[in-house]
Structure 1
Amino acid sequence: MQVKIGEKIKELRKVTGRKQEDLATALGVTPQAISRWEANGGYPDMEMIPSIANYFHISIDELFGYNNDRNRIIQEYNDKAQWLINNNDDMTECIALMRRGLEEFPDRVDFKTKLAFALHKQGWKNKGKEPNIFWEEAAKLYEKLLPHDQSCIIPLLSVYSCLGKYEKAEQKASEQPDLELCRQVLLGNLGSIGSINDEKRAEQYRGDAVLELLHAFQKSLDEAIVCNNELNNSREGLELLLLTRQLFDKIVGTECHGFHSDLCFIDMRCVKIANNIGDHKVAMDCFDSAFEQYIKFEQWKIKQFKRWEERNNKSINDENNDEHFTSSLLKSVNPSGHKVIVCEPSFLVKTATSFPEKEKKLITEDPKYACIFEQ
């Protein structure tokens, strides 16, 4: 990158309403020197750089324009890697991309996480080969990431299972904290027993705990039902999921802030069970609901991307985030502090295959659902 520090100084001076004489006086140089810098006729002495950065209340990296350039490159790596993950079965290009990214930015946890995911996915293309070098490397990466990101425990256990390391998976799972000892629950308990003086903050912690436990409950119930042949093929299983959906809907409220994906996944499971028991009308209603939640999730995702652009282009602080849940229970919870499950159109397409041919044809030919089949 060509460094044009003079242009940056000029830009900062005009934005802050300073004259060349003001900056010259502060730095102990002549206004003519400032003019030369701004015309790219020369550069400030290196020992003067910290003083210039301090004058404009920015970092030296920002003065040289490195921050924006660095953030842009990192975002480009992440965006391209995510696109490759979402749109390709072969992860060769994604793996190479993330390796290049880590050569340039060795400490990026998000790059390591995407590399591990790509390796995990690529391992399925080499299933049966011994050793499976992709799964082996993914396991090592997830093991290193686990202390920094507890969510890595889930893919790590999956990779262990893929490698046939069942005892290791069970041991690693048993080493994790009890549900009552997770961060959100502990902070929520502090708020409940009066250990936090700030009531609003205590209310936020209690809401965080409820939301995380609700999310975990939904996932656990789904897995319990899908692995139980009796529930997966009975109205009892369907009713359990529908009750869970009502509870989730009631607690979260009308503004779900990305948790539309949880509702979408519940609806999709309901579709499959309803089709298993031959209640295709309920299945169609649930599919329509799943589609609506998917659309809301996509709208939320676009809004989040716009907010990211605003934060990077206008230095908007996350503290000014005006997003909030509409339910009384979660009104103090900051939605941006919670991870959400990504909902992809391919999930809905796969769900549609559970219908008999007649209903499947109605779905695939309905213009309303065209967007998911065009991906």
Structure 2
Amino acid sequence: MTCVGLGQTRRPNPAEVIVSAEQEEFLRQSRDAVLQGEMDEALRLATRAVMADQTNFVGYHFRGELNDRLRRFDAAVLDFGMGYQYAPHRLDLLRMRARAQFKAGRLQDAISDWKLFVERQQDASQAPYLFTLGIAQAIVGDNEAARKQFEWYDVVQSNDAEAAAWHFLTVARHSGLGAARERMLEVSEEEKRIPMMQVYSMFKGELRPGRVLAAARSGEPTEKELARAMFYANLYLGIFYEATGEPGLARLYLRRAEEAKEFGDMTLDYMREVARVFGDEMERREAVAMEAEMASSPEHAAVMKWRKRSIAAGIGVLLWLGIRLYPWVRQWQPQRGRRRNELVEDSTKDRLEREPELVAAGEEGST
């Protein structure tokens, strides 16, 4: 997976699109603002670039990348979508929209975009490389589709302990731990990322989880190396515990992986988002399951029965009061009407009695 930094966004090929001088100038200013860390100004200038030519995908592409970096994932989805609308030949925009959909937590939309990306690829050989599609399918529980995707990925990108771990998760969910270990993807000692070989041994049942954490801290790593190693350890401990049926521990380690600082590496930073989205999805599923369990429990049924009876009793009391008070209300209303008429008559009589005095006073004043 590769990504061009915002400060070095690829200039559009003149053969693909003509960029106006005004739009190019706003894009240049926005890039400069990014390099200076002035992200709000960069976003404002990127919007000016979009407005300079609203049918050109270039402005949407750049602003989408900027919104993604600012974690404005919904806005990024809209920008990549608009760019793709005006340049449907730019399949990279479709793939970037899928990534933004995933980060926004809209997993089914992300899967749909990745599948559309596969369908519209002229080069079918690129489809197996969609590791991200397999991850999204695994998170939503589409285990068979995810398993096939990781097995396909293994054909073109073998010796990947991460793919082996995700593949293990999908098989374990579908067929159990025994089948998952029997069908594990092969990984050789060429896997150099610490502690991914220990992670692989843990999934095979040859190593305890604590040894993975110990391997991540071993030696004399730099601060950056330690952060990477601990991130991998936490992420794949989370996936291991999800596969082995311990969701509480799975969420704990996924949240620890999510809390890692930004690496400045597109792949690692995307996997941080994976940890967050996976943890969120697990919590959502747990809440749904808990609600369903409560709804089917005898206690909930008793509460609902009591509530219905209380509502019925309340309605009955209101009806009884209405029936009892109706005659009194009917008696009181005519009395109230007569009293109002008497007040009107008294007021009219008083006004008529005072009119001669007022007229006389007016005549006296006029003389």
Structure whose alpha-carbon radius of gyration is higher: 2
Larger helix percent? 2
Tell me the TM-score normalized by structure 2: 0.35
When normalised by structure 1's length, the TM-score is 0.35
Larger RCO of the pair (alpha carbons < 8 Å, separation 6+): 1
